[in-house]
Structure 1
Amino acid sequence: MKVLVAGGSGLIGAHVVEVLRERGHTVTTVARSQADHVVDLGQATDEQLRGMMAGQDGVVYAARTDEQRPMPKPVYPAFRAVMVDPVTRLFAAAREEGLVSGVLMGSYYTHFDRVHPEWKLTDRHTYIRCRVEQAREARATGLPIAVIELPFVFGRAGDRLPNWSGPLDRWARSGAPLFAPGGGTAAVSARSVAETAADALDRASGEDLPVSDENLSWRELFTRLAAAVGRPRTVRRLPDAAVRLPMALGKALLSARGLESGTDPRHFAQLALTGLYIEPLTGRSLSPALEETFRP
C-alpha cells in the first residue's frame, strides 16, 4: 500500500511512518518541515492536495492542534479554520483521487461525548466541538475513515516529545512537592497509536477507535513520572476545591481580557476530577514510553 502521512515529522506521525514501513508499505510524508512535501495544509490549494494524493492508496492525518492557547473571542471560527476545514479538504482530495482508506488522529473527548452526552462537552468546549465536526465532515466525503481517539500520548521520536511534557518534566525534576487531583486518564504510547492506525488502514476501517495502554489515576501517573526522572517521592491528593477555584478564576481572567481557549477552564475542572478511562486496553505496558518521555 502507498500511504501519505500528513504530520509525518511529528511525534505520532513519525511512529506511524515507522510502523507502516516495517510492514512493507511505501510512505510519503507531508509537514511544515522535514518532510517529502513541505506544505502548510491550511494554505494548500485543492490542486496541491490532489497532486500529493495522486497514486496513493491511503492517507493518515496526524497533524497537531493546540487547544489551550487563548485567543480573542470567539475562538470557534479560528479553531474551525485550523481543525475542520483542512481535514475535510484533505480527505475530499483523497476521495477524488480514488484512495481507499483513511485515518484521522482525533481525541478521546469525542469518545466521552458519545458515551456521556449529559456532559454537554461540545456545548462547553470549542475544541471538542471542532473534533466532533472534524470527524463527521471528513467522513461525509465518502472515504472510509477510522478516527483514532487519543488520550495522553507518551513517547519520543528524535527530538519530538508530547507538547505538554515540558512543564511536567520540569516540575518533577524540581524536587517540589507533587500534588494530584482526584481524577485520572487513559494513556497510550505513540507506538501503540501507530500500530492501531496501521491496522485500521489495512482494514479500510471507518470505526471510532478509542485507544489506551493503561488507565491511571493522576496520582499513579505523577508517581511514575517522578520515578522516571529519578526523583521518586510521595504524591499527595489535591483537594477538589484547589482545582475548581483556580480554573474558575482563569475563566474570569480570560473573559475580562476578551479571550477564550479551546477548552473552557470552568467546566474543564470537572473533567480533571473525573476518571477518563477507556476499555478495552491494548495490554501493553506504558512504562517504556513513559521512560522515553521523562528520561533521568
Structure 2
Amino acid sequence: MKVLIIGGTGLLGFEAAKLLIKDNHEVISFALPPKPDYLDIPNNMEIIYKNYLELTDEEILRYMNGCNSLVFAAGIDERVEGSPPIYDLYYKYNISPLERLLPLAKKANIKSAVILGSYFSYFDKIWGKLNLTKHHPYIKSRVDQMNYALSLASDAFSVSVLEIPYVFGIQPGRKPVYTILVNELKKMKKRTYWPKGGTAMVTTRQVGEAIVGAIKLNKSGTYPLGYYNMTWKEMLTIFHEALGVPDKKVVTIPTWIYKLFARSIQKSYKKRNIESGLNLVKFGDLTSKNQFISKDIAAIKLGVSDDDIKPAIIASVKLSNEALENKIKLENMRYK
C-alpha cells in the first residue's frame, strides 16, 4: 500500500508515517521546507519539501499517481489568531485545501482519505444547545471541513474524519501546543484557578495508530477519538508535577468567574483588532463540561492500543517550559 500524507513531518502525520513504514507500506509526503534537522526520517519515506498549496493540479496528480490512500494532517488550530473575520483564515487552511485535494484524489483513483479534525465537531453534534458553530469560528471550520469531506465519500472512495482531542507527546525540535497553557499556569504563583470540567486525551502514538487503523478499516464516517479521560484538576495536577510544584493546589472556580476573566481578554483582542477562533466567554460553557470520549466509541475499532498517558503529559509540559524559558530552540507550528 502507498499512502500520501499532507503534513508528514508534523507531530501526528509523522507518527502515522513511522507506523506505516514499519508495516512495510510506502509513504510519500509533502512538507514545508526546509528539511527539519531534528527529525530522523526513515530511509524509505519520500518527502517533497514543497508547499503543496502552490502546486498545480497536474503536479499534485503526478505525486498522487499509484497511491492508495490520502491523509490530511495539515491545517491550523485554534491557537492561530488574526484580524476578523478569522474564519476566512481557517477556511483557507482547513477547508479550501480539501476542495482541491479530495476531487484530485478521486481522479487519481485513490481509494480512501483520512482527515485529521477536532473533537469539537463531535461535541457540536451531541451538545447542540451550545450552538458551538455559531459562537466559535474555529469549531465552525472543523464542522464545515468534516461535512465537506464526507460529502465526497462514495462506495469507491471512503472518507474518515478523526475527531482528535488533547494529544500528549513530543517531537524533538518542535514546540508543543501546550506552551500557552503552561505559561498561564506559571503566572498563577500560589494556586491554580480553573473551571470544572475535563477532557478526553490520547498520546501521539495513539493518533498514529488511529490514522493507520482508519486507512485499513476503509469505512466512511466520523471517529471521535478518545482513550483516557481526566478532569482539569487531575490533568493540571500532573502539569504541576512536571513543573516542579507538585504541592500547588488546583482550585475549581465557578464558570461565571472564568467568563469574567475571558471577557477582559476578549476586550483586549477587540482593541487590537484581533479575533480568536474561540469566543472565550462562550467557551466557558464548553470547557466547564466533561468533554469525555470513551475508547469504545472509535479508538478500539481503529486498533488503538494502550499507552502511558502520564509520561506523555509530563514530557509535553517539560518541553513547553523549556521553550518558555528559552533553554532550547524549537520550531513553531508553520502553515505557510
TM-score above 0.5, yes or no = yes
> Which of 261, 265, 280 pairs up with 1:250?
265
> Which of 50, 55, 67 pairs up with 2:66?
55
C-alpha distance in 2 between matches for 1:160 and 1:204: 31
* CA displacement, residues 85-141 of structure 1 (integer Å, 9 cap, x when unaligned): 012211221111001111110000000011111111111111111111112212333
Q: What pairs up with 1:157-236 in 2 under 5 angstroms?
A: 157-163=171-177, 165-169=178-182, 176-177=189-190, 178-236=192-250
Amino acid at match of 1:251: Q
Residues 228, 295 of structure 2: 8 Å contact kept: no
> Which of 317, 320, 333 pairs up with 1:294?
317
Question: What's the CA shift for 1:152?
Answer: 0.9
Larger mean CA deviation between 231-240 and 189-198 belongs to 231-240
The unaligned stretches of length 5 or more in structure 1 are: none
Larger mean CA deviation between 63-72 and 184-193 belongs to 63-72
Residues 30, 50 of structure 2: 8 Å contact kept: yes
Question: What's the CA shift for 1:173?
Answer: 6.9
Q: How many residues align?
A: 295
TM-score, normalised to structure 1, is 0.91
C-alpha distance in 1 between matches for 2:206 and 2:161: 14
TM-score, normalised to structure 2, is 0.81
Q: Give the fraction of aligned pairs with identical amino acids, expressed as a percent.
A: 28
* CA displacement, residues 47-96 of structure 1 (integer Å, 9 cap, x when unaligned): 22212211111111111413233322222222211210012211221111
Q: Taking structure 1 as reference, are residues 156 and 21 closer, same or farther at Cα in structure 2, changes over 3 Å only?
A: same
* CA displacement, residues 151-198 of structure 1 (integer Å, 9 cap, x when unaligned): 1111012223532x2234456678933333211111110111110110
Q: Which residue of 2 aligns with 1:119?
A: 130
> Which of 248, 268, 275 pairs up with 1:260?
275
SS at match of 2:133: helix
The unaligned stretches of length 5 or more in structure 2 are: 36-45, 300-305, 320-336
Matched, 1:45 2:87: no
Q: Which residue of 2 aligns with 1:101?
A: 112
SS at match of 2:236: helix
Q: Taking structure 1 as reference, are residues 246 and 175 closer, same or farther at Cα in structure 2, changes over 3 Å only?
A: closer
C-alpha distance in 1 between matches for 2:143 and 2:54: 22
Q: Which residue of 1 aligns with 2:147?
A: 136
Q: Which residue of 1 aligns with 2:32?
A: 32
Task: Indicate the RMSD between aligned Cα atoms, in angstroms.
Answer: 2.2
C-alpha distance in 2 between matches for 1:17 and 1:236: 38
SS at match of 1:187: strand
SS at match of 2:52: coil
Residues 61, 104 of structure 1: 8 Å contact kept: yes
C-alpha distance in 2 between matches for 1:161 and 1:204: 33
Larger mean CA deviation between 236-245 and 103-112 belongs to 236-245
